[in-house]
């Protein structure tokens, strides 16, 4: 039988299983903590820092920090909102995210977070990096213009032997996520679709499937990201 712990998020009394990560524990209590590199079913990484919360006065990533008895967690507070917004803005200017022609528009988590944080124009200068589109795989396209290096594909898309089909290449600011040339040939239709679904942005695209979902039926067309978690329909963030 699991052991329960009690904690507060922004003063609200919460309860969850001991050892649960704060993001999941908050979700069970109807509280949305934004995430981007985190994905259900894969090991959390704490890479993007969007889920940053203040635990007992100290900033921590909610996707990698387990809840503990008596924790005082600050989530929806001004400085943390501002921090999260800045991260989204930095991601938007760092790559080439042209939503108008992107087939992931409406289903894109980065775009949905930008809407949720009411980002009209980023405060930072666009970098307009020169990046390539790798379309050599017969099933998918890897568009480096839109990759945010969250590693969700590397962690989630594996062959039957458990080997990652996607991998990091190069280092530091030149780092890019690529399709492994050999393993990529084994990509099935099902895995290709899963890779596209796992990608929070429009960096992994299944060939010839673009724009098949009409406007109005896309994931974030009618409700903001996180609203499925929150009991309230109106965003607090």
Residues interacting with other proteins, by CB under 8 A?
Answer: 100-101, 103, 133, 135-136, 141, 205, 207-216
Q: Can you tell me the distance from the alpha carbon of 108 to that of 216, in angstroms, rounded to the nearest whole number?
A: 14
Matching residue, tokens 């896309």:
218
Shortest CB 110 distance to other proteins, Å: 18
Q: Which is nearer to other proteins, 70 or 129 (CB)?
A: 129
Q: Are 75 and 33 in contact (CB under 8 A)?
A: yes
Q: For residues 1 and 101, which CB has a smaller minimum distance to other proteins in the complex?
A: 101
Q: Which residues of 122-131 are buried (b: 16+ CB within 10 A; e: fewer)?
A: beeeeeeeee
The residue among 207 and 236 lying less far from other proteins, judged by its C-beta, is 207
Minimum gap (Å) between residue 103 Cβ and other proteins: 7
Residue 49 neighbours by CB under 8 Å, 6+ apart: 61, 83, 87
Strand partners, 178: 167
Which conformational region is residue 227 in: left (phi greater than 0), alpha (psi within -120 to 50 degrees), or beta?
alpha
Shortest reach from residue 66's CB to other proteins, in Å: 42
- Least separation in angstroms between residue 92's CB and other proteins is 19
Taking the complex as a whole, the smallest distance from the CB of residue 231 to other proteins amounts, in Å, to 29
Q: What is the DSSP letter of 73?
A: E
CA 187/CA 193 separation, integer angstroms: 10
Tokens read off for 202 = 């429009």
Residue nearer to other proteins on the CB measure, 49 or 218: 218
Nearer to other proteins, 84 or 142 (CB): 142
């Amino acid at each position: 039988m699991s052991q329960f712990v009690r904690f507060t998020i922004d003063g609200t009394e919460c309860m969850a299983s001991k050892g649960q990560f704060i993001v999941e524990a908050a979700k069970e209590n109807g509280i949305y903590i934004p995430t981007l590199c985190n994905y259900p079913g894969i090991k959390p990484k704490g890479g993007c820092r969007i889920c940053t919360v203040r635990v007992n006065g100290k900033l921590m990533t909610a996707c990698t920090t387990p809840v503990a008895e008596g924790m005082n967690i600050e989530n929806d507070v001004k400085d943390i909102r501002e921090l999260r917004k800045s991260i989204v803005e930095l991601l938007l200017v760092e790559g080439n995210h042209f939503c108008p022609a992107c087939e992931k528009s409406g289903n894109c988590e980065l775009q949905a977070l930008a809407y949720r944080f009411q980002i009209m124009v980023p405060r930072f200068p666009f970098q307009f990096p020169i990046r390539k589109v790798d379309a050599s795989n017969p099933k998918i396209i890897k568009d480096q213009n839109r990759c945010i290096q969250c590693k969700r594909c590397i962690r989630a898309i594996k062959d039957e032997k458990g080997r990652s089909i996607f991998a990091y290449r190069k280092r530091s600011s030149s780092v890019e996520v690529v399709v492994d040339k050999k393993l990529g040939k084994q990509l099935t239709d099902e895995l290709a679709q899963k890779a596209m679904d796992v990608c929070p942005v429009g960096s992994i695209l299944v060939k010839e499937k673009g724009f098949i979902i009409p406007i109005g039926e896309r994931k974030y067309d009618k409700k903001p990201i996180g609203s499925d978690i929150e009991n309230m329909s109106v965003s607090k963030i």
